[in-house]
């Protein structure tokens, strides 16, 4: 897990690249490397050493012929298997997955992407052809931002790196308007900045002689058509469990200590159970956060689960008084709007793990999307937010009509023949997963910690997605198949517990302990450079209504706080 950066132009400045790398140094404090192809390109890298800790694995990494230079962020989990395939065509000098990735590209070209099981964002410069090839993993776990124009191509792992050496900081009004009006965080190629784009997950790009071309390399729809869905239930359960175990085993490949995050839900319970089937449980630290509010805390369920395995449990408490300082820091880290106070609480886990010397944490992201775990999968609503029912969490009335005109209601592809799979597809590639992965990448890397998502192994996602609806939802029971797997390992009480969204008392804190903080941010919103986006009298009315008890949702309040931080 690292940071990558580069400038492709006739005169890429060394000082600019160093500035970009410094801005994202938290992503890789173990080594900073640069490469220059004079008159053409500069590549940079911030290294967080996870596999092969030796200096020989530092980046940018080049092959023995010095033709190709690689800057790579992520992990190739099946690198040992690929290395065996490649040992007859490439002479390896390190034990790193970085060298395996470069060897795979040299041998298979772009087709190497289909062989990779991992999370990755990388760029390879060909010093002979003077071309850049870059790619992002299937679901976009690792980020790739870029600007292309005026004979320049900038790329980096974080937006702030590009902003630090350019003037491309104009807001993308359409994305911002959609955020306030529909809760959208932009389409897969967009950011909240007009001139900065992101390479979507499952896409690659080439840049040569000022020309940029982008292509999709991961065809999820075609993969689903080729995935069998005629298993008997017990066969599907056994096959999926086998893949789950393999996915977790692969993600324990590291030359540094590994831990995992846990909440009180089914997904975390399954992760906990499988981790302890694949490793010596006494060596694996578990982390969870709590707030001290029994209405929201999942600590009792976490403790019950841990009682089956006796993993060392690190309980990280997050309280309202920490919000102001942490929000200022995390807002700068995120560069774009993020979910709310739960993200701040979650970030404290990585801070604690870093202090404990843990460099890698596993998480349970991805099960709800592949096994239909959200409440709106059961009804006819097309919401993208869990638990809001028929009530809207947005306040469109506070937008200046001239600004609101920039909004365009997001429309998502529907490539499948049934509503459930189309919703799952939307959440995987456009809403839930891209949003969560971006939040989580930033908060983990803020504390130089690698986050791995074993449930987002593409083999698992493809298989689960393709299965019949009654394997996912049986009656009112969602994620049915994995609940049945979990019931074999733990108790039925744990395996069939209702879904509890990862929460904090955000709604109560904003109207009580943080009331002054909210008011201050609403005042700041009036004086920011983009104050004319809002009708501040309407905001004041909504804030008073919230304090008077109209607080079934706090998302709109958080949106305004977040905007005040980011647009100051």
- Rounded to the nearest 10 degrees, the angle between the axes of helix 173-182 and helix 555-566 is 160
Radius of gyration of the chain (CA): 23
Query: What average pLDDT does range 289-317 have in this prediction?
Result: 90
The 10s digit of each residue's pLDDT in 48-86 is 999 999 999 999 999 999 999 999 999 999 999 999 999
Q: What is the pLDDT of residue 282?
A: 59
d(CA 93, CA 292): 51
Asked if 77 and 118 touch (Cβ cutoff 8 Å), the reply is: yes
pLDDT at residue 502 above 70? no
User: Which token pair is 456?
Assistant: 């987002």
What integer is the mean pLDDT of 345-359? Answer: 96
The Cα 75–Cα 97 span in angstroms is 7
CA distance 118 to 1: 11
Residue pLDDT, tens place only, 1-57: 699 999 999 989 999 999 999 999 999 999 999 999 999 999 999 999 999 999 999
Least confident of 107-111, 184-188, 437-441, 474-478: 474-478
Is 97 annotated for ligand binding?
yes
The DSSP secondary-structure symbol of 61 reads E
Q: Which two tokens stand for residue 269?
A: 């319970």
Hey, CA dihedral for 256, 257, 261, 266, is it positive or negative?
A: positive
DSSP run (H or E) holding 167: none
Apex CA 447: angle with CA 446 and CA 452, to 5°? 90
| 169 vs 529: CA distance, rounded Å | 13
Known catalytic membership, residue 528: no
User: Quick one: CATH architecture of 2-218?
Assistant: 4-Layer Sandwich (3.60)
Q: How far is CA 468 from CA 16, 171, 465, 495, in A?
A: 52, 43, 8, 21
- Decide which of 393 and 429 is more confident: 429
| Domains in the chain: boundaries | 2-218, 228-392+419-495, 506-566
Cα pseudo-dihedral 449, 137, 457, 302, rounded to 10: 30
Adjacent-strand bridge partners of 42: 7, 36
**Mean pLDDT score, 276-294:** 83
Instruction: Give per-residue burial for 541-568: e unless 16+ CB within 10 Å, then b.
Output: ebbeebeeeeeebbbbbbbbbbbbbbbe
Query: Would you call 449 helix, strand, or coil by DSSP?
Result: coil
Q: How confident is the model at residue 276, as a pLDDT?
A: 84
Q: Is 60 exceeded by the pLDDT of residue 388?
A: no
543's tokens: 């804030």
Q: What is the pLDDT, as a whole number, of residue 347?
A: 97
Q: Is the pLDDT of residue 495 over 80?
A: no
Query: Please, which residues have CB within 8 angstroms of residue 526's CB and are 6 or more apart in sequence?
Result: 536
pLDDT, position 487? 87
CATH of domain 228-392+419-495: 3.40.50.620
Q: Which residue did the predictor score with more confidence, 496 or 400?
A: 400
- For residue 423, pLDDT over 80 is answered with yes
DSSP letter string over 111-141?
A: GGGGG--EEEEEEEEETTTTEEEEEE-TT--
Using an 8 Å Cβ cutoff, are 389 and 477 in contact?
no
- Band of the pLDDT at 201, cuts 50, 70, 90? very high
SS3 298: coil
Mean pLDDT over 410-420 rounds to 96
Q: What is the pLDDT of residue 197?
A: 97
Read off the tokens for 282: 């006494």
Question: Tell me, what's the pLDDT at 47?
Answer: 96
CB 521 within 8 A of CB 560: yes
Distance CA 180, CA 163 (A): 23
Task: State the average pLDDT over residues 435-459.
Answer: 97
C-alpha distances in Å from residue 321, one per residue of 58, 327, 510, 560, 562: 41, 11, 11, 19, 17
Structure tokens at 19: 């500035």
Q: SS in 3 state form for 388-408?
A: CCCCCCCCHHHECHHHHCCCC
Average pLDDT over residues 241-255: 94
To 5 degrees, how large is the angle CA 83–CA 93–CA 256? 75
**Mean residue pLDDT across the chain:** 93
Note the maximum CA span of the chain: 72
């Amino acid at each position: 897990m690292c940071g990558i950066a580069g400038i492709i132009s006739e005169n890429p400045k060394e000082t600019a690249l160093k500035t970009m790398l410094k801005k994202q140094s938290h992503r890789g404090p173990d080594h900073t490397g640069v490469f220059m192809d004079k008159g053409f390109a500069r590549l940079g890298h911030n290294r967080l050493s996870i596999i092969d800790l030796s200096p020989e694995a530092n980046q940018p990494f080049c092959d023995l012929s010095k033709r190709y230079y690689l800057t790579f962020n992520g992990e190739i989990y099946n690198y040992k298997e690929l290395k065996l395939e490649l040992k007859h065509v490439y002479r390896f000098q390190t034990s790193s997955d970085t060298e395996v990735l470069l060897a795979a590209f040299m041998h298979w070209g772009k087709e190497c992407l289909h062989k990779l099981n991992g999370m990755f964002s990388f760029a390879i410069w060909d010093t002979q052809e003077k071309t850049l090839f870059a790619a992002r993993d299937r679901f976009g776990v690792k980020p790739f931002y870029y600007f292309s124009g005026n004979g320049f191509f900038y790329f980096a792992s974080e937006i702030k790196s590009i902003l630090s050496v350019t003037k491309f900081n104009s807001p993308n009004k359409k994305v911002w308007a959609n955020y306030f009006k529909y809760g959208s965080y932009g389409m897969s190629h967009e950011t909240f900045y007009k001139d900065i784009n992101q390479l979507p997950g499952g896409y690659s790009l080439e840049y040569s002689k000022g020309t940029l071309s982008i292509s999709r390399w991961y065809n999820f729809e075609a993969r689903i058509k080729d995935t069998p869905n005629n298993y008997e239930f017990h066969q599907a359960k056994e096959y999926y469990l086998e893949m789950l175990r393999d996915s977790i085993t692969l993600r324990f490949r590291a030359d540094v200590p590994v831990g995992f995050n846990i909440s009180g839900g089914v997904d975390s319970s399954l992760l906990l159970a499988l981790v302890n089937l694949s490793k010596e449980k006494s060596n694996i630290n578990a982390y969870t956060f709590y707030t001290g509010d029994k209405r929201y805390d999942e600590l009792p369920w976490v403790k019950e689960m841990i009682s089956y395995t006796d993993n060392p449990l690190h309980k990280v408490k997050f309280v309202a008084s920490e919000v102001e300082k942490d929000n200022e820091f995390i807002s700068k880290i995120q560069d774009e709007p993020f979910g709310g106070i739960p993200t701040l609480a979650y970030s404290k886990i990585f801070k604690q793990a870093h202090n404990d010397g843990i460099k890698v944490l596993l998480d349970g992201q991805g099960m709800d999307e592949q096994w239909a775990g959200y409440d709106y999968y059961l009804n006819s609503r097309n919401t993208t937010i869990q638990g809001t029912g028929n009530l809207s969490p947005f306040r469109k009335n506070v937008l200046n009509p001239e600004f609101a005109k920039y909004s365009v209601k997001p429309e998502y592809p529907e490539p499948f023949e049934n509503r459930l799979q189309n919703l799952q597809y939307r959440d995987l590639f456009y809403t839930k997963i891209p949003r969560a992965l971006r939040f989580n990448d930033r908060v983990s890397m803020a504390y130089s910690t690698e986050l791995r998502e074993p449930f987002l192994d593409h083999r698992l996602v493809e298989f689960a997605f393709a299965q019949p609806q009654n394997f996912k939802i049986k009656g009112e029971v969602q994620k049915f198949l994995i609940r049945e797997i979990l019931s074999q390992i733990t108790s039925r009480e744990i395996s069939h517990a209702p879904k509890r969204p990862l929460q904090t008392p955000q709604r109560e804190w904003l109207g009580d302990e943080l009331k002054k903080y909210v008011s201050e941010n609403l005042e700041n919103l009036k004086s920011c450079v983009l104050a004319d986006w809002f009708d501040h009298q309407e905001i004041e009315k909504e804030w008073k209504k919230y304090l008077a008890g109209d607080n079934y949702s706090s998302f709109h309040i958080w949106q305004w706080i977040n905007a005040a931080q980011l647009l100051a």
